């Protein structure tokens, strides 16, 4: 067996006892001097300061809750604003309105022209009908055309 391993096996209980004893002495000294956290914790932090800290924590929680509500409201406003922006983006511009106005003017002219053609056709049809009624009336009276 390796001599170092033999030393560790032989002296490990004594070494462990020494470490435990040293830790015990250090903790006891710290406790006597008031630095140890073992035992009475009231010496570490004053209860008045703990109350102030607890009140501060509660205040921060309330402020976080209020900020979350405001953030939710801001998110809702952003969503609505996005819808309005999209609507405005898709609305016709001045140029679009002008083109529509010109198209309506042209359409109005074309409708007037078509109306005049229809009126002329109606007058021609009326004359043809009158001629045919007259011819039929003459034929009915025994005359020939």
Q: What integer pLDDT is reported at residue 11 of this predicted model?
A: 73
Angle, CA 84 vertex, CA 80 and CA 85 arms, to 5°: 115
Residues 86 and 50 in one domain: yes
Domain count, the chain: 3
Residues 135 and 106 in one domain: yes
**Lowest-confidence range among 38-42, 89-93, 112-116?**
38-42
Q: What integer pLDDT is reported at residue 113 of this predicted model?
A: 95
- For 32, the domain range is 1-38
Residues 81 and 100 in one domain: no
Residues 27 and 50 in one domain: no
**Stretch 24-49: mean pLDDT:** 71
Whole-model pTM? 0.38
Residues 83 and 61 in one domain: yes
CA distance linking residue 144 with residue 131, whole number of Å: 14
- From the list 126, 144, 127, the residue with the least C-alpha distance to 135 is 144
């Amino acid at each position: 067996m390796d001599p170092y391993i033999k030393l560790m096996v032989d002296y490990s209980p004594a070494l462990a006892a020494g470490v435990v004893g040293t830790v015990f002495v250090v903790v006891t000294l710290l406790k006597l001097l008031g630095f140890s956290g073992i035992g009475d914790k009231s010496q570490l932090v004053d209860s008045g300061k703990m109350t102030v800290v607890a009140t501060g924590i509660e205040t921060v929680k309330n402020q976080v809750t209020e900020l979350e509500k405001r953030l939710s409201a801001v998110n809702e406003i952003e969503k609505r604003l996005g819808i309005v922006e999209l609507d405005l983006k898709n609305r016709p511009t001045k140029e679009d309105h002008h083109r529509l106005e010109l198209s309506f003017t042209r359409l109005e002219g074309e409708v007037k022209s078509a109306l005049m053609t229809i009126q002329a056709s109606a007058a021609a049809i009326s004359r043809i009908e009158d001629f045919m009624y007259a011819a039929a009336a003459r034929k009915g009276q025994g005359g020939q055309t």
